[in-house]
Structure 1
Amino acid sequence: MNDRAARLLGVRDGFGGLDPEEGLASGLRTWVDGGIESRGEVVSWAPIPADADDAPGRLVDLYDWEHWHNDFHLEDFVSVDYTYADGPIVGVDVDAQRTLLRQGIALAREVGRLAGELSTPIPLRCIIKVDETNGKFAFYRIRPEDSWVLDDLDGDDRGYDPDTIRRRLELMPTCPEGLAWYWDQCDDDIGSWNSETDLQPYLRLLADRCRAVDTALIGVFTSADGLVLGFLPSDKLERFIVLAATAKAEIVIYGSVEPVEH
């Protein structure tokens, strides 16, 4: 658990804040009741897909196979309020983030129990990630040779990789139809991704593809180091800039040149 999650849950005052008062959400309980299965070198929610025998198949590696089958958004199964439900940006407030964290931790405990009850128990790592936009849960078999297995939760310098960005943006109701995603080489080698050097060029190129379908790629700063991305029809961009200025919100408009901040 990183420092931000620890502060949000108040763990320095004890571990009572980790447990959701209402218990595990019914939507998540359905996953638990279905169980997990391990076959060959991979593990997933039951029933495990038939292609587990050939994992990773067309995917990059075993981690990528498990990510594809085990990763989902917590807010799809836990009832929380969206801060900007009808706007160009989808987000959740601090209370909703706390709820998603607690539910994710409760689910992780259940998944750990299920792993221990397999005919041959296996080591698993559950990943719970919550921020201003959503919450995600996934679990993977621990393989010491995997490059993503780190002791420092904040130490992975890949940050938000292209796959994560794409998965989040595709969920937005304003994501334009016809937007081309598979155009950048960094999708082919996610292990080489570095947010510090690759994120801004990636977003500028993505913005160019957005403009081809009459859409603007925008960003809204939510804190000192928080940025929420979103889509906006090009004909509404000027109005959005005016409203942001009125609200004294710091925004960024992406394009093929350096992003323009307002």
Structure 2
Amino acid sequence: MSELDIPKLPPDALALLDDPQLADLKYRGPGLARAGKVLEPSQPAKVGDSPFLILKTSAEYMRPSNVVWQNPPSPRGMLGEGRGFPTLRSTRPHFTEDQPKPAELSHAWEYEGWLVASPQFAATIRAFDPEAIETVEIEWVFADGQKLDGYVFLDVRRLLHAYDYRRSVVYVEIGEKGKYISNLGTPRALKPDLPANVHLFREAYWRHQVLVSRELAKALTQALGQTRPRAARRDIYFEDPARVGAVKF
């Protein structure tokens, strides 16, 4: 199993588990709710501090019940979230959906840890940061015979440990094997030394989180027509790490 398959917290995050505030955190025993605490930062991030935003997609297609992947890889193994497409190069993924093609589609939504992305979405990212992504052509057929023309599976391959844990809200729990970080809250801060020449990456531990530069987020918003008053079905939007809620451009 490769390092890509086992996300690991960076040393600065693990160091928080020795915080004196957690000294009285005790394991409650099997079958009981796990004890936990919230570590609040003394210098929390402020809205606008971060040069990167979190890409968010509609959850509608996260696990679609009306879509069938007709030729999935076997064994499926661990898919998506920065691992690329090692099992999908020989056969073009083929999907069928039991609904007619909608009048309006989003340009990106999540599926199996990847994104299903429109030609416009993929092209905009390639124009900014082509080395960050990998794509595979797919075939997606609706009940009325229409298809998703030009859509691809898109995986963000670049992995960076992005969060400054000391300046973020951190949830810690304790189990039989000891204390562990169970989640991050809001606000959360990014490390000040992240590369300035990248526009897109996946958080190396919280793999489901994709971050984009403000420049790329604005370009995607404009290229995909997301500035109109009524957003598309299966929409995309962006959040500042320091606040819940869509950023307006």
Using the size of structure 2 for normalisation, the TM-score is: 0.29
Which structure shows the bigger proportion of residues in strand conformation? 2
Using the size of structure 1 for normalisation, the TM-score is: 0.28
Which structure shows the bigger proportion of residues in helix conformation? 1
